[in-house]
């Protein structure tokens, strides 16, 4: 089920149906899909933020990115993501 939501989210995102893509990505989050090795938390939130930006929801996109940063701070991976962004 998680894989289907992730795949649908990607298909909707590629089609430009960003609202539907966000719904599918959030379904993955709500079912705990990010706890599995095949659903990277950072990719999921990056995609949600991208879709929010494309919809013009800039404040939501910023909040999504801040949530991702809090996740990395909590899981002691913060230094790695900063290195990737430099």
Predicted confidence (pLDDT) per residue in 15-74, tens digit: 999 999 999 999 988 876 555 556 677 889 999 999 999 999 999 999 999 988 887 777
Residue appearing with tokens 């989210």: 9
Backbone angles phi, psi at 75, to 5 degrees: -100, 15
Q: For the chain, how long is the longest CA-to-CA vector?
A: 36
pTM of the model: 0.78
- Six-digit token string for 82: 């900063």
Decide: 48 and 66 in contact? Cβ < 8 Å: no
- The answer to whether 4 and 26 are in contact (CB under 8 A) is no
Can you read off the two tokens belonging to residue 30? 């709500």
């Amino acid at each position: 089920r998680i894989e289907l939501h992730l795949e649908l989210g990607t298909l909707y995102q590629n089609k430009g149906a960003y609202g539907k893509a966000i719904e599918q990505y959030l379904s993955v989050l709500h079912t705990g899909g990010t706890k599995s090795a095949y659903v990277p938390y950072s990719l999921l939130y990056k995609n949600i933020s991208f879709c929010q930006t494309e919809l013009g929801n800039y404040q939501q996109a910023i909040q999504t990115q801040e949530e991702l940063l809090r996740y990395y701070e909590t899981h002691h991976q913060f230094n790695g993501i900063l290195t990737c962004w430099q």
